Amino acid sequence: MILVDLNIVLDVIQKSEPHYSASAAVLDRIVRRQVDASLPAHVFTTLHYVVEKYQSTSAAQRLVDWLLTHFGVAPVGREELIRARALGWDDFEDAVVAAAAESNGSSLIVTRNVRDFAGSPVAAVTPEEFLVGLD
């Protein structure tokens, strides 16, 4: 089980170059059930907000439904927030991702911001590194 960071999904939604291809390939592996993956719970609300703001409510709802079909949900509750604070990182959102990955039993965090996860209890890899590891 891997945990996918928000930036990977945003790369695909926004077709962000030069990151789109690798991030889309990660999502493709998940959709084809070659790997089990979760998203931190807060990613669903963030993505709904962004898509609703820039597209429409119905597009945001379709996205959430699609994500729920293909991803597990790594809970973000009191314990994860306490653990995130205990990590003492400058970026609280990244600390929450690391804590969610840890409590969810994830083996890896797939993110473009590997440097931000240097002290993570769960190893972080880029989409490219993850794909090489699968092949």
Amino acid at 64: V
The arrangement of secondary structure in 2-134, i.e. its CATH architecture, is 3-Layer(aba) Sandwich (3.40)
- Calpha distance 34→85 (Å, rounded): 33
Q: For 57, what's the count of Cα atoms within 13 Å in the CB-facing half-sphere?
A: 0
**Is 91 exposed, middle or buried, given 0-12, 13-18 or 19+ CB atoms closer than 10 A?**
middle
Q: Where are the domains of the chain?
A: 2-134
**Is 10 exposed, middle or buried, given 0-12, 13-18 or 19+ CB atoms closer than 10 A?**
middle
Phi-psi region of 7 (alpha: psi -120 to 50; beta: other; left: phi over 0): alpha
Is the pLDDT score of 135 beyond 80? Answer: no
- Calpha distance 71→105 (Å, rounded): 14
- Calpha distance 116→13 (Å, rounded): 22
* Mean of pLDDT over the chain: 96
Confidence band, pLDDT 50/70/90 cuts, at residue 128: very high
pLDDT tens digits for range 52-106? 999 999 999 999 999 999 999 999 999 999 999 999 999 999 999 999 999 999 9
Is the pLDDT score of 123 beyond 70? Answer: yes
